[in-house]
Each structure stands twice: as structure tokens, then as C-alpha cells.
Structure 1
Amino acid sequence: MPSWLPAIAYPPARDDGYWAPITSTIDWCEENYYATPYSAEIVNTLTNLLFVYLAFRGMHNCYTQGHDRIFFLTFIGYLIVGSGSFAFHTTLKYPMQLVDELSMIYTTCLMFWATFEHNRAAPLPLILGLFTASLAIFITLYYHYLQDPTFHQNAYAILTAAVVFRSMYVMEVNIRPYYRRKHDTHVKKQGSPVMSEREKEEEARKDKRDQDIVGKMWIIIGVGLSVFLGGFGIWNLDNAYCSTLRRWRHDVGLPWGILLEGHGWWHLMTGLGAYFYIVWGIWLRHCLNGRQDDYELVWPSFASIPSVVRRKGAPATNGANGSARKMK
């Protein structure tokens, strides 16, 4: 290690930790049991505490601000993802690996159903629910049969991409004034009454409001995706250059070598990116329900955590799926 950098040498890795032997199908780049015999991968374990913190923050926000119940359930799933990953990296046991990886699939399936069923006429929500549940069961059984992490990663990526791109489309078509007005003009009946000056002013106010909302939504999307994909990139570098990174960690010693734990960065960055997406989904749902004047995004700076809160004086809700207009 560099002589000018105060550090301690890495203890040797061990294979006789408390949870030995390893039964998971994946063993990450962090060396096993070097810090404590009670945690196989200490950095990969502790970085999951961010999930726990953000999950409870999100659930509290949903409970106090009257967000739809599906998002409270999503944050419960988010908590299970973090807790499962904590248990997996602590033990490196196959059952804990399944809790970690499959909870990612199930939580994304919740968002998948919430995104595609909103404001759909019966029986479509039920059909979508059955389809989503069947898809989750299929992924579970087939993954357990294959025991190939690549299948899980691809399934998760496809589900996530479907949810994100569908949400982007819904946001643009239903909220951006240009596309919303274009659709409304297309379906407008002949002989509709001419708007008064006051109605025109109110329409202009709503257009400006919605234009600002879409702009802020794209910012939160951009930040969330950048952080999420950045974590994915670091994780891949961790996999590709593991031997080099391990050598560098030993060269710089502890605690500095912790900064070279790529999978730990994946936890921090994807956890934060996923939280940004859920917050965006909450705000988008309120806007689709016609409640732009009742809710706002509170995000003081890029260094802070965003949240959606009810404006002062706005009517409370019980988390049910109220709606002001049909989603396109």
C-alpha cells in the first residue's frame, strides 16, 4: 500500500465463516469473511441498509400523504429486496439468494400491474392481474429449474424496461399539454360551447402547470436512470476486472479498499435509482387522477431525496384509485 496513505492491511479471506459452506450459485468479488466470521461479504451486506431506510421513508410518505395503496405495497416489496439482499450477502446461501432475486421480480411485477391496469375498465385489471401473477410464477419456477443468474437478470431488465417506457408514454400523452390537447381536439364533439375568457385563462394556467410538471418529471427520470445505469455499469466492471480490483484493494488497504467494492456501489446506486422511479410513479398517478393542484414534488436539491407531498389545504384521500379522466 502507498506509504503516505494511513491504512491497515486486509485480513485474509476465510472459508470457515459462521454460515459456511457457500450454497449460492453466485459468489461476488468481495472476499469472503475477511472482516468478521458472521458476514460473508460485509460491504455488500451493509450497503443494503439504504434500501431499508428508503423503504420506511417511502411507506411513511404513502401513509401520511394519501398515496395509492399499491405504492405502499411496492415499498414493502422494496424493503424485502433490501432485506433479502442483506441476508444473501451475509450468508451466501441459496435460499437467501432466491429471496433477494425473486423479490426484485415480484416488486417489479407490482409496478407492472399498477402501470398497465390504471383506469382500465373491468375485467381488464383482473385479467392483467392474473397475467402478472402467472408471469411471476413462471419466472420463479423456471429460474429455480435453470439456476442461471443470467435468466433472472434478463427477466428483471425486460420487466423494468416495459414499466419505464409505458410510464413515459402515459406521462407524455396524458399530461403534456400539446399531446393532451391534440387528443382532446380529435375527440371533441361538434357544436361544443365556446369557452369564456375565464375558462380560457384557467386552461392556460393548467397548460403551464402541466408543462412544468412534465419538465420536472423528465429531470427525475433522467437522474434516476443515470444513477441506476451507473450502478449497473460499475457492477459489470466489478465482474469483469475482479482480480485487478482485489489486488488494488490489498494495495491501498482498509478502509480505502471499501471504495473499490463495485457490487456495494451497485446496491447504493440501484437502490436510489429505484426509489426515484417509485416517487415518479406516485406523482404520475396523482397527475393521471387529475390532482396536479393537490400534490407537488418536494426536491430541494440533487443532493436530497425527493418526495411527493399533499399541498396545504388539499383534500385528503384514503389511497383509493380516484380518477378525473380516462387514461389514454
Structure 2
Amino acid sequence: MEHWPHFPFIPYPPSKAGYWSPVTSTLNWCEEDYYATPYSAEIVNSLTNVLFLGLGVKGVLNVRKHGHDSVFLVAFLGYLLVGTGSFLFHSTLKYPMQLVDELSMIYTTCLMCYASFSYSRSSAVKKFLAVSLTGLAVFITLYYHYLQDPVFHQNAYALLTTVVVFRSMYTMEVALRPRWRKSLEEDRLLKQKQGLPVPSKERQEFENVRDMKTLKTMWFMVVYGLSMFLGGFAIWSLDNFFCSTLREWRQRVGLPWGIFLEGHGWWHLMTGMGAYLYIIWGIWLRHVLNKEQDEYILVWPHMWSFPEVVRLSPGQQSDAPSKKFT
């Protein structure tokens, strides 16, 4: 095969058997098998999951340090499990590791679904949601194992994710946009009747301005996170559809340049960032719902960095808890 002579390269070794052979998974991606090391079936698809591991640890430490709700600690542990399962799956291409990878995505999304729908509900409703979502997760697990059809898993995951994201969008809008709330005067009268403290009109106006700033930043996070998800999905789809062409191109450019044509690896990086943003958004939204906007702030130094929600120390004040690009 004629190589493109524009830059130095190392020729791609051919696909071959490795330490974990034979392949037992129902999926095998476009990356050549065992071309870099006999101990990893798909080296790029494996190592791109290091982002999940790093961000998962960062998220767990952030939850513990700043006292976020425990449901988000479990969510980040699920995020870590997704990254670990995907690493093992792509390293071995074994069916049990495939199940760890794919089903952990379902379980983590069910957990976020519970966090989204159970807030401020009665104990009976929370129990019903927990039982229902557990039953759904068990059903998906058993039916997927019976079918062994990846399309079923992908559709189930996409549907669950869509429900959770749209529910969170609705909650965010209702909680923060002043037009969806009662007028200032109606709100004051209602609080007076209930014997609750009544903020001054100036304080209420301040909170409305603050909430709109928060809402603007949250919508930026939503759009940014969805762009990462959808962009990664588009690249992954191209990787599936044009696999033979991409393999030919990788052979032509050689290593290390061919690594940049690994579409499934880009999917890992982009969805890892998108999923992390979603959990951080969920943490911040929970503090908003708990009326703790003045106690926490979103720290996001650069667009290409990884944000986190931090608790302000005593004496600090958050007048505009929003992204801080510098």
C-alpha cells in the first residue's frame, strides 16, 4: 500500500491474536486488534477511558470535600465503573467485560433518573421510583443478555438519557426563571400567610438577577455538554459507516498519526466530558433547589478545563455563581 509521504511515520502492524484471544464480545470496533501490544485488543479505545477514571476520582473527591448530596457520590462511582468497564472491554473484547461496560451505563443513568424525579417527593413516591427503576434495570439486563443485540442497549440508553436530560431542563427552568414563578407581590403575600420570612423587594430583585445569571450559565453547560455527546456520536457513527476507508487511511498515514482517526476513541473522550458536565450540572441544580445558591459557586477557569461546584468558606459571598472563564 502506498503511504502518504508528507510526514514521518511507523507502519501499522496487521491485526493479530493476542493474550485475550479469541474475541467473545458481540461487538468489535474499527480499531485493529492487538497491533500495538499483545495485552490490549484495542489500545486507543482502552486508554481513552483514562479520562473517565481521572474525572470520576475528581468528582468523588469534590463531593466528599464540599458536602454535595450522597446521590452524586454514587453517580460518580457509577461513572468510574463505566470507565473501568469500558477499559476492560476494549482491552479484552470479552463478553462479560462488554456487559460490565454497557450495563453500568444503564445503571448510572437510572440512578440519575432517580435523583431527578425523586427530589422533594414523599417517602412513598421515592420508594415507588426506586423499585420501578430497579425493576427497569433488571429487565434491561435480562432482556439484553437474552437478545445479545447491541442496538437494544443503545436505544435503551438513549431513551433513558433523553428522559433524564429533559426532566432536568424542565426543573431548571421552573426553579430559576422568574416568569415561571409567582409575581413578587403574590410571592410576598403567600409567604406572609404561611408565616414565613418575607424578603424585601430589593432582595427579591437581587435574587431574580442572580437566578437569571445562574440560568444562563446552566444553559451554556447544557448546550456544551449535549454538543459533546452529539458530536461524539456523530464521529462514532462515521467510524462505523466508513470503517474500511478509515482503516485504509490509517495504513497510509501510519503511526502515530493514525491514532487521530480512531472514531470510537473520540466518542469516549467527548462523552466522558459530556457526562461529567451533566453530573456537575445536576449537583449545582440540586443546590439551587435547596436554596443554597449563596453558599456554592461553579468554578470553571477555562472552557477546556473541568468545572466543579465548591462550597464557599464562611465570610465569602457569591453574588453571581457562574462560570469564571479567565
Matched, 1:91 2:115: no
Distance 2:34 2:268 in 1: 19
Matched, 1:249 2:211: no
Secondary structure of 2:121's counterpart equals: coil
1:226-285 residue CA offsets vs partner (Å, 9 max, x unmatched): 011100110000000000000000010000000000000000000100000000000000
Matched, 1:267 2:262: no
Q: 1:45 to 1:309 in 2, by over 3 A?
A: same
- Please name the residue that 2:277 is paired with: 276
Distance 1:278 1:189 in 2: 34
Question: Does the 8 Å contact 1:81/1:103 carry over to 2?
Answer: yes
Q: 1:191 to 1:55 in 2, by over 3 A?
A: closer
Q: 1:184 to 1:219 in 2, by over 3 A?
A: farther
- Please name the residue that 2:10 is paired with: 8
Secondary structure of 1:17's counterpart equals: coil
Report the alpha carbon displacement of residue 177 of structure 1 after superposing the two structures with TM.
1.7
- Please name the residue that 1:50 is paired with: 51
- Please name the residue that 2:125 is paired with: 124
- Please name the residue that 1:152 is paired with: 153
Distance 1:183 1:133 in 2: 42
Aligned-partner residue type, residue 6 of structure 1: P
1:40-63 residue CA offsets vs partner (Å, 9 max, x unmatched): 000000000000000000000000
Distance 2:36 2:124 in 1: 55
Distance 1:227 1:79 in 2: 19
Report the alpha carbon displacement of residue 198 of structure 1 after superposing the two structures with TM.
7.2
Report the alpha carbon displacement of residue 122 of structure 1 after superposing the two structures with TM.
2.3
Q: 1:148 to 1:306 in 2, by over 3 A?
A: same
Q: 1:77 to 1:251 in 2, by over 3 A?
A: same
Number of matched residues?
Answer: 313
Report the alpha carbon displacement of residue 186 of structure 1 after superposing the two structures with TM.
8.5
Distance 2:217 2:209 in 1: 12
- Please name the residue that 1:325 is paired with: none
Secondary structure of 1:123's counterpart equals: helix
1:204-223 residue CA offsets vs partner (Å, 9 max, x unmatched): 11111111000000001111
Aligned-partner residue type, residue 96 of structure 1: M
Q: 1:165 to 1:35 in 2, by over 3 A?
A: same
Q: How does 1:80-229 map to 2 (within 5 A)?
A: 80-181=81-182, 185=186, 189=190, 199-229=200-230
1:164-202 residue CA offsets vs partner (Å, 9 max, x unmatched): 000000000112122123599489659859xx9970111
Ranges in structure 2 where 5+ consecutive residues have no aligned partner: 317-326
Q: 1:138 to 1:254 in 2, by over 3 A?
A: same
Distance 1:75 1:177 in 2: 32
Distance 1:36 1:251 in 2: 20
Secondary structure of 1:308's counterpart equals: strand
Report the alpha carbon displacement of residue 90 of structure 1 after superposing the two structures with TM.
0.3
Secondary structure of 2:309's counterpart equals: strand
Q: 1:161 to 1:185 in 2, by over 3 A?
A: farther
Distance 1:263 1:181 in 2: 48
Q: 1:62 to 1:243 in 2, by over 3 A?
A: same
Question: Does the 8 Å contact 1:24/1:93 carry over to 2?
Answer: yes
- Please name the residue that 2:324 is paired with: none
Secondary structure of 1:181's counterpart equals: coil
Per the normalisation by structure 2, the TM-score is 0.92
Question: Does the 8 Å contact 1:115/1:167 carry over to 2?
Answer: yes
Q: 1:183 to 1:102 in 2, by over 3 A?
A: farther
Question: Does the 8 Å contact 1:294/1:314 carry over to 2?
Answer: no
Report the alpha carbon displacement of residue 121 of structure 1 after superposing the two structures with TM.
1.4
Distance 1:217 1:117 in 2: 21
Ranges in structure 1 where 5+ consecutive residues have no aligned partner: 316-328
Secondary structure of 2:310's counterpart equals: strand
> What is the percent sequence identity of the aligned residues?
59
- Please name the residue that 1:236 is paired with: 237
Q: 1:209 to 1:190 in 2, by over 3 A?
A: closer
Q: 1:197 to 1:145 in 2, by over 3 A?
A: closer
Distance 1:244 1:191 in 2: 69
Secondary structure of 2:123's counterpart equals: coil
CA RMSD of aligned residues (A): 2.2
1:99-130 residue CA offsets vs partner (Å, 9 max, x unmatched): 00000000001000010001101200000000
- Please name the residue that 1:322 is paired with: none
Secondary structure of 2:102's counterpart equals: helix
Distance 1:61 1:241 in 2: 40
Distance 2:295 2:166 in 1: 26
